[in-house]
Amino acid sequence: MTSAPRREITGFSNPTVKFIRSLREKKHRKTSAKFLVEGLRLLTDARESGYLPEILILSTAREPHPLLEKLEIDLGQTGADVIETSPDILAKITGKSNPQAVAGVFAEFDTSLDTIDRSSAYIWLVAQDLRDPGNLGTMLRTGDAVGAGGLILIDDCADPFSVEAVRASMGAIFTQKLAKARWDEFLPWLRSGKNGAPGQLVAASLRDAVPYRGAPYQAPCFLLVGNESQGLPEDYEAACDLRVTMPMKGRADSLNAAMAGAVLAYEVLASFD
Amino acid sequence: MTSAPRREITGFSNPTVKFIRSLREKKHRKTSAKFLVEGLRLLTDARESGYLPEILILSTAREPHPLLEKLEIDLGQTGADVIETSPDILAKITGKSNPQAVAGVFAEFDTSLDTIDRSSAYIWLVAQDLRDPGNLGTMLRTGDAVGAGGLILIDDCADPFSVEAVRASMGAIFTQKLAKARWDEFLPWLRSGKNGAPGQLVAASLRDAVPYRGAPYQAPCFLLVGNESQGLPEDYEAACDLRVTMPMKGRADSLNAAMAGAVLAYEVLASFD
């Protein structure tokens, strides 16, 4: 039960500092397949979901905390790099003037469709061209709330491993499965019945749609939500098994994509009860 | 049908430029009771809802647009200050390197409870200590979607007139009524039956709550959502007429406050149909 050994870093130009800092940019995350997680709360969410950081960064200004001790003990045998550094260097790494006292670098998960076992959950969220990392994180969180299996990102979505998306997920990035695919990979995958289960594709839509309340949802149900400003392409909607619509009492485009996903997901959840 | 006269501003130190720029800070909005709205889309939402800016700022790099022409014509007789300036100065005003080509300064609305006519809508959203301006704007947008009358902000919420909240509202700040009150003003106001109507106060809660599906909602229904991380204070919940709970299949705090508000608001809307 010994903690991992720590090393101290005092220089801004230290290569590890530079590497961690680079993870704020998508291209560097892509190259290294690592991402940065800030704060003891998210690191604890990760640990409790079975994920440990490859690098743990501790501020010399941190307060002792039992959850941090647990994390250090769990890291003891893993060969993780545990670094102690100044608040100034942490501020540089995170780009924040008041950085959290702890951060961690994790390996990105495998996000291929093959990792999705559709029979493991009744609900799956699917987002197409979702551009806002906050919305993306919120959808992960909603998925967690409704007991969804995970989130499938279609076409050009925001990066789920960005600091903003990870933070907005409130830890759900570690509990929800995550996959990325182009539409023309996703649809054959869904229709193939691979992994031995079918899948109903449901679009939140305004065209040729039935009311979302009491619609004939079937598990596993894949709930497809479109881009924040464009909605879903017409041919994507046409390929769905069911198109449902929600009342819009105000302006035509009044509902946020993540919000529409949540209302719909709760309706599907209730219909399966 | 003539447009308002324009004047050109070329200096960064022009007092109008300084004033508009100051509206990015809450204390200056508070002093002047004005707020900044960026982009032709939001300005058009405002105009279509009957609100015109007191100052209109046009970039010299703007493209002509029929909606902008309409706005300038509507401003013709109002005595509004119409300013033409460089993209550089607009960038300075908005703090963005790629500013929108149009912005406007509006007078803040009266946000006293007296402006709320509770008999004018079946649903009202109420947020307590909601700290994130994006969440606040999203709740305005959700209110618009469900045909709510408006949003009542209790205690220490984010500023609804911040650029972030206005943007996240997608124009709903101009269609939803907005009021601010302390809890100990709000509750007597609600219970007074002033304006000749009752009001049911409903909390999204985990304590002593009934399932949110099929709960006995009554119009006008005031849906109370708590702070993002703390939820509602226990005595606030106790003062509610109805406490409802939503299934949480994952982590205890999995649902975002704005998201919980949307799911609940759609349930109430359906129950009134």
Please indicate whether the domains covering B6-107 and B113-271 agree at the CATH topology level: no
The helix or strand, by DSSP H or E, that contains position B6, with its residue range, turns out to be: strand B6-9
Residues 190-229 of A with CB under 8 A from B: 213
List of chain B residues whose C-beta atoms are within 8 Å of the C-beta of residue A256: 138, 141-142, 170
Q: Binning pLDDT at 50, 70 and 90, where does residue B2 land?
A: confident
| CA pair distance B69, B87, nearest whole angstrom | 19
Q: Binning pLDDT at 50, 70 and 90, where does residue B99 land?
A: confident
> Which candidate, A178, A170, A165, places its Cα nearest to that of A115?
A178
* pLDDT reported for residue A257: 85
| CA pair distance B5, B77, nearest whole angstrom | 10
Kindly determine whether residue A256 and residue B144, on different chains, have CB atoms separated by under 8 Å. no
Residue A4 pLDDT > 80, yes or no? no
Q: Binning pLDDT at 50, 70 and 90, where does residue A142 land?
A: very high
pLDDT tens per residue across span A192-235: 866 656 899 999 887 778 999 999 999 999 999 998 888 899 99
Chain pair A-B, CB pairs under 8 angstroms: 104
List of chain A residues whose C-beta atoms are within 8 Å of the C-beta of residue B270: 213
CATH 3.30.1330.30 fits A6-107, yes or no: yes
* pLDDT reported for residue A193: 67
Average predicted confidence (pLDDT) for chain B: 92
Residue B193 pLDDT > 90, yes or no? no
- C-alpha distance across the termini of chain B, in Å: 44
Neighbours of A198 (CB within 10 A): 13
Average predicted confidence (pLDDT) for chain A: 92
Residue B235 pLDDT > 80, yes or no? yes
pLDDT tens per residue across span B40-53: 999 999 999 999 99
Kindly determine whether residue B254 and residue A213, on different chains, have CB atoms separated by under 8 Å. no
Instruction: Domain ranges for chain B, please list them.
Output: 6-107, 113-271
Q: ipTM of this model?
A: 0.88
Q: Which of A90-104, A194-208, A237-251 comes out lowest in average pLDDT?
A: A194-208
Residue B243: half-sphere exposure toward Cβ, Cα within 13 Å? 15
Residues 6+ away with beta carbon under 8 Å from B83: B6, B7, B8, B9, B16, B55, B56, B57, B58
* pLDDT reported for residue B222: 98
Question: Who has greater pLDDT, A28 or B99?
Answer: A28
The architecture of the domain spanning B113-271 is: 3-Layer(aba) Sandwich (3.40)
Q: What percentage of chain B exceeds 70 in pLDDT?
A: 97
Q: Binning pLDDT at 50, 70 and 90, where does residue B208 land?
A: confident
Q: Binning pLDDT at 50, 70 and 90, where does residue A114 land?
A: very high
Which residue from B138, B143, B254 is facing A145, i.e. has the nearest CB?
A: B254
Which residue from A147, A170, A254 is facing B141, i.e. has the nearest CB?
A: A254
CA distance A259 to chain B (A): 6
Q: Binning pLDDT at 50, 70 and 90, where does residue B197 land?
A: low
Structure tokens at B111: 């946000």
Q: What percentage of chain A exceeds 70 in pLDDT?
A: 97
pLDDT tens per residue across span A38-50: 999 999 999 999 9
| CA pair distance A59, A39, nearest whole angstrom | 11
Q: Can you give the pTM of this predicted structure?
A: 0.91
Residue B146 near chain A (CB below 8 Å)? yes
Closest residue, chain B, to A141 (C-alpha): B254
Residue B251 pLDDT > 90, yes or no? no
Question: Who has greater pLDDT, B94 or A4?
Answer: B94
Residue A138 near chain B (CB below 8 Å)? yes
Q: Cα–Cα distances in Å, from A86 out to A36, A58, B259?
A: 18, 8, 38
Residue A45 near chain B (CB below 8 Å)? yes
List of chain B residues whose C-beta atoms are within 8 Å of the C-beta of residue A263: 262-263, 266
What is the DSSP-derived secondary structure letter of residue B129? S
